[in-house]
Chain A
Amino acid sequence: MEKIFLLCIEDQREVLNAVVEDLAIFEEAFPIEECESVAEAITVIEDIYDAGLHLAVVISDHVMPDKNGIDFLVELHQDERFRATKKMLLTGLATHADTINAINNAAIDRYIAKPWDKEMLQGYVRKLLTEYILESGIDYQPYLKWLDQDTLYQKLRKY
């Protein structure tokens, strides 16, 4: 099994705790990195890249002290190395302009509004993980337990 990471950025500790807790079902197979700021996230992401590991999904808060989550995700998307990484925005206030910006830059794979629904969050992460694994050509079989069935069927039908 390859090392595939999930990364959450959220400046409020309680909220970060809650997100990570809801994602605990993935932790057995996909280690979760928790970050309280974009700056911290960037160092972690670089470390993951340097170690030659996979960064499958980044879940970012929207309004944060050091940087806007959308700006961060757009930048991450523009970085060739993390193009394949799936990006998800966790937002309490998505304005129209933000949404347009994010869509035009094709940087965000999923929006999820605060307060979020646990099952919905898990479902999204499951889908994104599945897409990442299949698109990156990682052997999906060891991870089947954590993957989204429908996404899997649609992609595997073609092989």
Chain B
Amino acid sequence: MDFKKRLRQPSSKQLKAAVAILVPLFILLIPLHWIPIPGLTVVEQRVIAIFFAAALLWVLEPIPIYATSILVIFLELLLISDTALLPFREGPPESFGELMHYKDIMATLASPIILLFLGGFFLAIAATKYGLDVQLAAVLLRPFGAKPNTVMLGLMSITALFSMFMSNTAATAMMLSILSPILREVDRQDRGRVALVLAIPFAANIGGLGTPIGSPPNAIGLNYINLSFGQWMLFAVPFVVLILLASWLVLRRLFPFEMKEIRLKVPGKPRSNFKTRAVYITFGATILLWLTDVLHGINSYTIALVPVAVFLVLNIINKEDLKQISWEVLWLVSGGIALGLAMERTGLAAHLVHSIDFSGLTPALMVLLVGTVALVMANFMSHTATANLLLPIVSALGVSLPRLAEWGGSGAIVLMTTFACSLGMSLPISTPPNALAHATGEVNVPDMTKAGVLIGVIGLVLFFLMLLGMNQFGFFAHI
């Protein structure tokens, strides 16, 4: 029996793959002067080809997004590094450009940002392994009582809090598992169900913004703006609180509760043994160290190794647990960093921005426009991939436009883009948390879109105002 033949259904996958291969190949092969960027080098042309390949693969997704990231690193090594294929190492001297050192490209796989994330993974894995997440949820939910609106606020706060330290997907999955038994007892007609189910993925997406390790786009952003853990939280946590409250109000308004009471039952009683205590203490100590770097001078990236070291030494995380690390997330980020690095080092980013005339745009409009583009893209594709694609360009834009300086310069526009990426949550395909919520069958797409678009726009505007305020207080002058 020929199963392969049966598989030959008309597939859009091949078509997408073909586009993602042919377009970059075309860019790679055309004469240099066809590309209307003055002063472009051959190496830069290759970076453009790689960028287009990455963009098409990330947008169309014929292959997994983390595979695209690795492909970016691999193609850079083959085409624009000093270990490139021999014919690629030389060209017309006047317009060839500079090859990159291969070690720099490879180093993106273990960049400090990646290690920061690894530290976050260790915290999350240890917490779930010892059931800290569920225990903590049980304790923290109690003060929120039984009124549907306050319970929803409780769920959102806790989801957001967890999401700051674990992946958005894991936080959503955990909180949905707490919520779903209750939903079975609630009247099917009650619109409040939709509010409850949407509250969790939204809070997870929003909470991810709270810390540098909360969500991968943050890591990419951090690549372009030099902020410590504490500095990030200084503005991100207030923003998270604000937008969380705004979302809470939006959900209450859109999907009012009819039910009078909700009783959450969270299983799991607190355990107290050496290892559990060690996890709690390490967790607390790590966060404390992150927030007090001014006092001890150790940077956030190094502190991230504290949980890694402690948990491995105490055998709290063993080799089986190590297999749970989401390498694909780390490599996804690495690819983004590598892409940005190539664009910056080869000088393509600068060339690119100079060749476009932005003079018609005021800095404020520019920040808003970039944020909107990011928000729209993030609704239709992976948040991390959006950040990977946009941030190298946006960062160059920020550096090269002097008019932006009064606005906080590169920092402001990079943060705007980074935050906008995490606010894309209007469709089931926007983020895995949204997909999980949609899969419960409680939420239809129009409802999700209505609430998601509203919160996305409110978030964008709120963050814009926040950037204004931060600039007023001279935040960007200090970094």
Q: Touching in the complex, A and B, CB below 8 A?
A: yes
Pair B1/A154 contact, Cβ less than 8 Å: no
Closest to A148 in B: B439
Q: Determine the distance from Cα of A149 to Cα of B3 in the docked complex, in whole angstroms.
A: 31
Taking a contact as CB atoms closer than 8 A, the residue among B7, B170, B326, B435 that contacts A144 in the complex is: B435
Taking a contact as CB atoms closer than 8 A, the residue among B3, B4, B173, B438 that contacts A156 in the complex is: B173
Which of chain B's residues have a CB closer than 8 A to the CB of A155? 173
Taking a contact as CB atoms closer than 8 A, the residue among A139, A145, A157 that contacts B133 in the complex is: A157
Interface residues of B in 1-47 (CB under 8 A from A): 1-4, 7
Binds A, one of B86-94, B174-182, B255-263: B174-182
Taking a contact as CB atoms closer than 8 A, the residue among A47, A141, A149 that contacts B176 in the complex is: A149
Pair A158/B170 contact, Cβ less than 8 Å: yes
Interface residues of B in 169-200 (CB under 8 A from A): 169-170, 172-174, 176-177, 180
Closest to A153 in B: B177
Q: Determine the distance from Cα of A156 to Cα of B172 in the docked complex, in whole angstroms.
A: 9
Dominant SS at the A interface? helix
- A158-B125 contact, Cβ under 8 Å, with A51-B4, A53-B3, A153-B180: yes
Which of chain A's residues have a CB closer than 8 A to the CB of B177? 150, 153-154, 157
Smallest distance from the beta carbon of A29 to chain B beta carbons, Å?
Answer: 13
- A157-B174 contact, Cβ under 8 Å, with A141-B435, A144-B435, A150-B180: yes
Which of chain B's residues have a CB closer than 8 A to the CB of A118? none
Which of chain B's residues have a CB closer than 8 A to the CB of A156? 169-170, 172-173, 436
Pair B7/A3 contact, Cβ less than 8 Å: yes
Which of chain A's residues have a CB closer than 8 A to the CB of B346? none
Interface residues of B in 278-325 (CB under 8 A from A): 324
Which of chain B's residues have a CB closer than 8 A to the CB of A147? 439
Smallest distance from the beta carbon of B330 to chain A beta carbons, Å?
Answer: 13
Which of chain A's residues have a CB closer than 8 A to the CB of B438? 144
Most chain B CB inside 10 Å of its own CB: which residue of A53, A155, A158: A158
- A149-B326 contact, Cβ under 8 Å, with A44-B1, A157-B173: no
Smallest distance from the beta carbon of B369 to chain A beta carbons, Å?
Answer: 31
Smallest distance from the beta carbon of B10 to chain A beta carbons, Å?
Answer: 14
Interface residue? B167 (CB, 8 A): yes
Which of chain A's residues have a CB closer than 8 A to the CB of B4? 51
Pair B3/A157 contact, Cβ less than 8 Å: no
Pair A149/B439 contact, Cβ less than 8 Å: yes
Q: Determine the distance from Cα of A44 to Cα of B1 in the docked complex, in whole angstroms.
A: 8
Q: Determine the distance from Cα of A51 to Cα of B125 in the docked complex, in whole angstroms.
A: 37
Which of chain A's residues have a CB closer than 8 A to the CB of B167? 159
Smallest distance from the beta carbon of A97 to chain B beta carbons, Å?
Answer: 35
Which of chain A's residues have a CB closer than 8 A to the CB of B326? 159
Closest to B440 in A: A149
Interface residues of A in 39-55 (CB under 8 A from B): 43-44, 47-48, 50-51, 53
Which of chain B's residues have a CB closer than 8 A to the CB of A153? 173-174, 176-177, 180, 436
Smallest distance from the beta carbon of A25 to chain B beta carbons, Å?
Answer: 13
Pair A141/B3 contact, Cβ less than 8 Å: no
Pair A159/B324 contact, Cβ less than 8 Å: yes
Q: Determine the distance from Cα of A50 to Cα of B1 in the docked complex, in whole angstroms.
A: 10
Pair A152/B173 contact, Cβ less than 8 Å: yes
Which of chain A's residues have a CB closer than 8 A to the CB of B2? 51
Interface residues of B in 126-152 (CB under 8 A from A): 128-129, 133
Q: Determine the distance from Cα of A48 to Cα of B440 in the docked complex, in whole angstroms.
A: 31
Pair B3/A158 contact, Cβ less than 8 Å: no
Pair A159/B7 contact, Cβ less than 8 Å: no
- A139-B64 contact, Cβ under 8 Å, with A156-B170, A157-B170, A159-B324: yes
Instruction: Enumerate chain B interface residues (CB-CB to A < 8 A).
Output: 1-4, 7, 64, 125, 128-129, 133, 167, 169-170, 172-174, 176-177, 180, 324, 326, 432, 435-436, 438-440
Give 5 new A-B contacts, CB below 8 A, not counting A3-B7, A158-B129: A43-B1, A154-B173, A155-B173, A158-B170, A159-B169
9 contacts between A and B (CB under 8 A): A47-B1, A139-B64, A141-B435, A149-B440, A152-B436, A154-B173, A156-B169, A156-B173, A159-B169
The 7 closest A-B pairs by CB, nearest first: A51-B3, A153-B177, A156-B173, A144-B439, A153-B173, A157-B174, A47-B1
